Amino acid sequence: MAQMSAITTSVFDLFNIGPGPSSSHTIGPMRAAFDFLERVRALPGEVRARADGLRCHLYGSLSATGDGHGTDKAVLAGLLGHSPETVPQALLDELLEHPGRRHPLPVDGARLDLGPDTVVFDAVEHGFSCNNTLVLRLLAGGEALFEMEYHSVGGGFIQWRGWQEPDLGPPPHPYATMAELRAQLAATGLALHELILANEKALYRRSTREIEEQLDRVMRHMENAVRRGCETEGVLPGCIGLRRKAPTLVRRAGESRHSSDRFLMLVNAYAMAAAEENAAGHVVVTAPTSGASGVIPSLLYVLHNHMELPREAVRRGLLAAAAVGFLVKRNASLAGAEVGCQGEIGTASAMAAAMLAYATGHPLQVAENAAEIALEHHLGLTCDPVGGYVQIPCIERNAMGAVKAYNAYLMATLGDPATQVIDLDKAIWTMNQTGRDMHRKYKETALGGLALHMPRC
């Protein structure tokens, strides 16, 4: 296998902390805008002094559903010097409540303000190589002094025109497919979590302690999103007027006479709780996207609070989940705008199933089978957000993805691992091909499916 094809994604690029409601429509654009700001700051002083305007043009799915996803607010926050990991919630709330307020661009020598006219919802159909494309321009007299074309490729990851994979050097244990990962594990004798940990340490110069502390931080944010969502009543932002359901589900689970029903209701509640926090624009963890940020946290919460697994076991499960996410990102896509919701909820469900199996002590083959079963039964899932908001059907899809993950875990652990016919590589390949064949109206444009029942509000 050529070294350049090996997976080099960091665990903490996959699990990154930031505001909802969409990694591709909120976190990615905020990162792109922040990157543009840094590049503008590096321009010669005479160029910055000539600037009299700045525009960000949104294309494709960013244009079609960016209003409901808060893309314009995310771009403004990035241009004001904020990254997803550190942006104050109060600022995002202010941008939502006072969209007409002007803000000075924080660049020495540049005297221009940012406001609603900074972001332009441009063509849905376009000729760029990526569906989710942003073009940012620094202007003087209507002419571009400097411009950048960015691509939001899912999970909060961004690229730009001319972008190349950063040369981090080869990982000590290179792989690009599940078959290659299995071969590496067989050759080295390492456990799955040990190999993922070794690659992370080598590529990103992090110690074991630093990685474990950051994993614990990620898990705290996941569980906090579940807790906040379970305790918060009210109506979610936007014109749909959708009421939060998680607190009600928690209460009714406590009233259930049947323990099996109670557990299932709580899994649903936990997933919807984190997804509702995401829909409210609050801080969540991309897992692997913001739109799917309820699936893994709900089952991680189960591992900690119902199964009472030690933190070390849950960390290992999260690393197994990361391995699945890496494979999908490398060989298909995590973006609903590229392959539909199978790339978001489907991947999250597969990751969660692997996490459950591995954290509870089952071998790699069982974890892989669990991931494959979960992904297989999300194939063809469209991304059709009603009104362009990450609410209907997105919130309930998180709950369904969590339940499917738990069921996939049960099926994989109770069956004979050697009898599995379809492996994870085949499921990922099929998901990718299905997504590429899917009509564009079903890929986060709000132009098809359930979205037709409330196309704009």
Residue for token digits 């049960």?
A: 410
Residue for token digits 């994870």?
A: 424
- Between CA 75 and CA 63 the distance in angstroms is 13
Output the six-digit token pair for 224: 């906090």
- Between CA 76 and CA 335 the distance in angstroms is 22
Residue type, 9: T
Query: What is the per-residue pLDDT for 388?
Result: 86
Output the six-digit token pair for 80: 């004001």
The H-assigned helical ranges of 256-393 are 259-279, 295-305, 311-331, 336-339, 345-359, 364-376
- Between CA 89 and CA 447 the distance in angstroms is 31
Query: What is the per-residue pLDDT for 1?
Result: 35
Query: What is the per-residue pLDDT for 95?
Result: 78
For the chain, what are the domain ranges?
21-155, 178-453
- Between CA 266 and CA 273 the distance in angstroms is 10
pLDDT in tens, the chain (457 residues): 334 489 999 999 999 898 999 889 999 999 999 999 999 999 999 999 999 999 999 999 999 989 888 899 999 999 999 999 888 888 887 876 776 789 999 999 988 999 989 999 999 999 999 999 999 999 999 999 999 999 999 888 999 999 988 778 889 999 999 999 999 999 999 999 999 999 999 999 999 999 999 999 999 999 999 999 999 999 999 889 999 999 999 999 999 888 889 999 999 999 999 999 999 999 999 999 999 999 999 999 999 999 999 999 999 999 999 999 999 999 999 999 899 999 999 999 999 999 999 999 999 999 999 999 999 999 999 999 998 899 999 999 999 999 999 999 999 999 888 899 999 999 999 999 999 999 999 998 888 999 887 755 6
Over the range 106-119, which residues count as b (16 or more CB within 10 Å of their CB) and which as e?
Answer: ebeebebebeeebb
pTM: 0.89
Query: What is the per-residue pLDDT for 4?
Result: 45
Residue type, 438: M
**Considering only the top CATH level, what class is 21-155?**
alpha beta
Q: What DSSP string describes 23-73?
A: IIIIIHHHHHHHHHHHHHHTS-HHHHHH--EEEEEEETHHHHHHHHHTHHH
Query: What is the per-residue pLDDT for 457?
Result: 61
Measured distance between the N- and C-terminal CA atoms of the chain, rounded to whole angstroms: 51
